[in-house]
C-alpha cells in the first residue's frame, strides 16, 4: 500500500502537535497543503476517489486525538451552519471546489439570537482553510466528485454527542 506522503504527514504533525496556538494551526495547514499535493497517486487517495464515500476516516491519532477524514462530495451537497465545539478543523480541497459561508451569532434586545452570514468564498483545489473553536461556517459543494480532506483536532462526533458542536438553522443564501 503506497502511502509515503501520508506517513510523512502523520509523523510531522505528531512532532508538532500540542495545545492550540497560531503556530500549530499555521504549521498544520502547511502540512495538509503539502499532503494534498503529494498524495494524489497514493493508494489511500486512489481508493477514496474510487469509493466516492461522503466520509471516510483516513487516520486517527490515539496519542494526540487528531483525525484526518476524506470526503468525496456531489454537486449541491451542503452542511448547514455549524461550529465545532471546543475543536478546530482545517478543510482542504484536493479536487473540485466548495463554497464556504462564514457566520456570526447576533443577539437581539429581546434575548433572541440569530446566525447571520457575514461572508462567503470558494475553496478551490489546493487550498485549505482553518476554523477555530467558535467559528461558524457552512459548506456547499460546487462540483461533482469534489475531494476534500478534513483535519480535525479531536473526534467531532464526541463534540456533537456531548453538546459542544452546534448545528444552526440553515440561513445560508450562498452569495
Pair 58, 5: CB distance under 8 Å = no
CB 99 within 8 A of CB 139: yes
Q: How far apart are CA 100 and CA 11, in angstroms?
A: 29
Read off the pLDDT of residues 96-148 as tens digits, 9 standing for 90 and up.
999 999 999 999 999 998 899 999 999 999 999 999 999 999 999 999 999 99
Q: What is the pTM of this model?
A: 0.91
Rounded Cα gap, residues 114 and 135, in angstroms: 15
The CA distance from 34 to 44, in Å, is 16
Judge residue 29's burial from the number of C-beta atoms within 10 Å of its C-beta, 0-12 exposed, 13-18 middle, 19 or more buried.
Answer: middle
Per-residue pLDDT at 174 exceeds 80: no
**Rounded distance, CA 33 to CA 106, Å?**
33
Question: Which range among 1-5, 58-62, 150-154 has the greatest average pLDDT?
Answer: 58-62
134, 45 contact by CB (below 8 A): no
Could you give the domains of the chain? 4-161 (2.60.120.10)
Please, what's the b/e burial string for 103-141 (b: 16 or more CB within 10 A of its CB; e: otherwise)?
A: beeeeeeeeeeebebeebeebeeebbbbbeeebbbbbbb
- 160/32: higher pLDDT: 32
pLDDT recorded at residue 154? 85
Amino acid at each position: 500500500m503506497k502511502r509515503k506522503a501520508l506517513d510523512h504527514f502523520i509523523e510531522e504533525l505528531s512532532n508538532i502537535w500540542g495545545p492550540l496556538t497560531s503556530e500549530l494551526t499555521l504549521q498544520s495547514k502547511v502540512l495538509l497543503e503539502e499532503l494534498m499535493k503529494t498524495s494524489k497517486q497514493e493508494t489511500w487517495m486512489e481508493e477514496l476517489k474510487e469509493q466516492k464515500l461522503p466520509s471516510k476516516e483516513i487516520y486517527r491519532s490515539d496519542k494526540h486525538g487528531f483525525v484526518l477524514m476524506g470526503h468525496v462530495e456531489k454537486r449541491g451537497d451542503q452542511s448547514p451552519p455549524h461550529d465545532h465545539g471546543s475543536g478546530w478543523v482545517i478543510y482542504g480541497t484536493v479536487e473540485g471546489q466548495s463554497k464556504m459561508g462564514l457566520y456570526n451569532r447576533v443577539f437581539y434586545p429581546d434575548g433572541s439570537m440569530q446566525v447571520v452570514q457575514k461572508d462567503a468564498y470558494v475553496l478551490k483545489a489546493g487550498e485549505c482553510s482553518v476554523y477555530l473553536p467558535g467559528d461558524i461556517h457552512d459548506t456547499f459543494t460546487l462540483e461533482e466528485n469534489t475531494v476534500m480532506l478534513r483535519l480535525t483536532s479531536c473526534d467531532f462526533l464526541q463534540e456533537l454527542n456531548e453538546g459542544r458542536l452546534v448545528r444552526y438553522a440553515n440561513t445560508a443564501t450562498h452569495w
